[in-house]
A and B are shown apart, each in its own frame.
Chain A
Amino acid sequence: MNSAPVPFQTKVAKFFENLRDKKLTGTRCVKCKTIYCPPRADCPKCMSSHVEWLKLSGRGKLLAFTTIYVGPETFEKYVPYVISIVELEEGPKLMSLMRDVKQEDINIGMSLEAVYFEAADGRITYGFTKPLEEKTFREIKSKVCR
C-alpha cells in the first residue's frame, strides 16, 4: 500500500466512482451503439463524443491468461499473480487480474465474474474470478471424491 496513486485525469472518471459501488460500467456511443469497456469518452469509429453510461453484467469468459513470475517494480512483492484477457457478455474485452484462482484451475473459455478490491494505490479496482456457484460445486465435488 505504499505506492502513491497516479493522477488519472480523464473524461471517464465516473468509471472509478462506479467501481467504488462495485459496479462495472462502460460507455456506449449513441450514434453507432459500440460499447466500450474500458470506457471511452470519444468513439473512434464515428468520431463522435456523444456517449452514454451503461452498467455491465460483470460476467464474461476467459480468452487468454499468464502467470507473472518476474514483475515490474511496483508489483514485485505480489508475484506470482495471474492476469487474463476477459471477453465480457456485452462484447468488450478487458485485461484484468485474476483473483483467488490457481493456474491449474484455469481453462480457456471458462466463465468468469468481476470482483472488486483495493489496489496497491488505495483505489478500488476490478478483477475476475470463477463464479461462486462453480467454486462451491468444485469444493463439494472434491469433498465427495475424498
Chain B
Amino acid sequence: MKGVAIVGTGHSKFGRRDDASLRELAFESTKEALEDAEMSTHDIEATVISVANQFLANQTQSGAIVTDYTGMNTKPSFTTVAACASGSAAIRAAWTAIASGLHDTVLVCGVEKMTEVSTPRITEFLGFAGDPKWESRPTGITNPGIYAMFACAHMHKYGTTERQLALVAVKNHKYGAMNPVAHLRREVTVEDALKSRMIAYPLKIYDCSMISDGAAAVILASEEKAKKITDTPIFIVGLGCATDTAAMHDRADLTSFRSVVEASKQAYKMADVSPEDIDVACVHDCFTIAEIMAYEDLGFCEKGRGGNFIEEEQSYIGGKTPTNVDGGLKSKGHPLGATGVSMAVEITKQLRGECGSRQVPGAEIGLSHNLAMHGTHCMVHIYRR
C-alpha cells in the first residue's frame, strides 16, 4: 500500500454567504488548494466531492455541478454522502484510491449551502437524517433534541453540568475569534452562554453549532508524488470508520458513541499511536455535549470525566490535548459537507506550523473526528508531519 499525504489546502470563509452560490464556494476552496500546492487542474487525476444534504441547495446533483464549475471535467469523480461526516468519507475514498495505486493525485472538495432555506425547514431536513419513520416524523425530534437527550443521560449518570457544557462554547469561541475563516468570530462568556435562548433542554443556542455556508478542499497525493510537490507533506497514517444505529432508541448506551470508540481504536492501531500522542485534535462539536463525549470516547480522558477535562482547560492550547483550536463547528461553523474537509485543512496547517496566534507549538501528530448524526457514522483520521 502506498503512503498518502495532503499536499494542498483551501478554505472559503464560512458564514452566512449571501454573496455566493454552492458552486462558487466550491471554486474558492478548490482554487486556493491548487495555489497552495502550486498545481493546476491538469495535475489532478480525479476528484471526490462531498455534499451532505442536497435538498438544502435546491439541487440534487451538486457534485456534478462542482466538478463542472471548478474545471475538473472529464476526470473520474463521485460524491460521498454520510450526513455530517460526508467530508471525511470523501477523504477516506480519495485515500483509498491513492493507496491502491489507482490514482496519484486526488482533489477532495466539501461544500454546503445552508442559508437559502429557513431554520425550521433545515431543522426538519436534518431530523430526517436519523430514523424519520420511527423518530422524527412521529415525535418532532430535532437534531439538537437528540443531543439534548444524550446530554440529559450524561448529566444524570456522571453529574456533568450545564456550566461544563457552556465552557466548551467559551473555549471554541475564544479560538474561533482568532480564525479568519470562522463564521462567528466573537468571544462569549460562560454567563452569556448559560443565559442564552433554550433550543432543546438542556441545550441552549450557545450549545449548538452554526448553520453555515462554506467549502473546504484538500489535495491528496501518493508519497512519491507528494515529496516532489511539497517539502511539508502531511501524511494520513491512520483511518478508522464505524457505524451505529440510525435510531436513537436502539442505542444500548446513551452516554457514549460506540462508533467513535470503534473508529478511533482502528485509527490508533493503524497509526501505531495512543491518545496521549495526539498533539492537536479537531472533534465534531455539533453540540457542546458532543465534544465532551468525544474527549471520553477518543480516550483523551476517562469515561465520565469529559466535563472535568474542559473545566481543567485540558483541551486549551497548553493543556493535555488542544481541541478545536480553530473554533470547531461551534464558532467556525458547520457547513455539513465541508466540515470533515475543513478539519483536515486545520490539522494540516497546524502540523505545518501555519496557525499563527492559535498554533499548537511543535504539533507533530493530529487527529480529526467527524460524526454523522448522533454517531451513526464516525470517521477518525490521524495525521503526521
Known: A64-B254, A68-B200, A71-B123. A125 touches B152 (CB 8 A): no
How extensive is the interface on chain B, given as a class? 35 or more
A74 to B203, CA, bound (A): 21
Is B134 part of the contact surface with A, judged by Cβ < 8 Å? yes
Are the C-beta atoms of B124 and A73 separated by less than 8 Å?
Answer: yes
Q: Indicate if A139 sits at the interface (CB-CB under 8 A).
A: no
**Contact indicator per residue, chain A 47-75, by CB within 8 Å of chain B (1) or not (0):** 00000000000000001111111111111
Q: Are B141 and A83 in contact (CB under 8 A)?
A: yes
A76 interfacial by beta-carbon distance below 8 Å: yes
Residue among A65, A70, A75, A96 facing the most chain B CB atoms (10 A cut-off): A70
**A72 in complex: contacting residue of B134, B136, B203, CB < 8 Å:** B136
Of A70, A73, A76, which contacts B144 at CB under 8 A? A70
The proximity string for A residues 82-121 relative to B, scoring 1 for CB distances below 8 Å and 0 otherwise, is 0101000000111111000001000010000000000100
Q: Do A66 and B120 touch (CB < 8 A)?
A: no
How many whole Å from A66's CB to the nearest CB in chain B? 4
Q: Which residues of A contact B247 (CB under 8 A)?
A: 38, 95
Shortest Cβ distance from A107 into B: residue: B156
Complex Cα gap A92–B251 (Å):
10
> 8 Å CB contacts to A: which residues of B135-154?
135-142, 144-145, 148-150, 152-153
Interface range for A = 20 to 34
- B156 surroundings in chain A (CB, below 8 A): 64, 108
Contact, CB under 8 Å: A70 / B123: yes
Q: How far is the CA of A99 from the CA of B259 in the complex (A)?
A: 33
Contact B123 A66 (CB under 8 A): no
Query: Closest residue to A65 on the B side, CB-wise?
Result: B152
Does B133 belong to the interface (CB within 8 Å)?
Answer: yes
Would B200 and A74 count as touching, CB distance under 8 A?
A: no
Query: How many whole Å from B368's CB to the nearest CB in chain A?
Result: 28
Complex Cα distance, B254 from A76, in Å, reads 26
CB distance from A102 to the nearest CB of B (A): 12
- Give the residue of A10, A66, A78 whose beta carbon is less than 8 angstroms from that of B145: A66
A70 lies within 8 A of B199 (CB): yes
27 contacting pairs across A/B (C-beta < 8 A): A38-B133, A38-B134, A63-B254, A64-B150, A64-B152, A64-B156, A64-B254, A66-B152, A67-B201, A68-B142, A68-B200, A70-B144, A70-B200, A71-B120, A71-B140, A72-B136, A74-B140, A76-B120, A83-B140, A85-B248, A85-B254, A92-B249, A95-B135, A95-B139, A95-B249, A96-B139, A97-B138
- The 6 tightest CB contacts between A and B, nearest first, are A75-B140, A72-B124, A66-B148, A67-B201, A64-B149, A73-B120
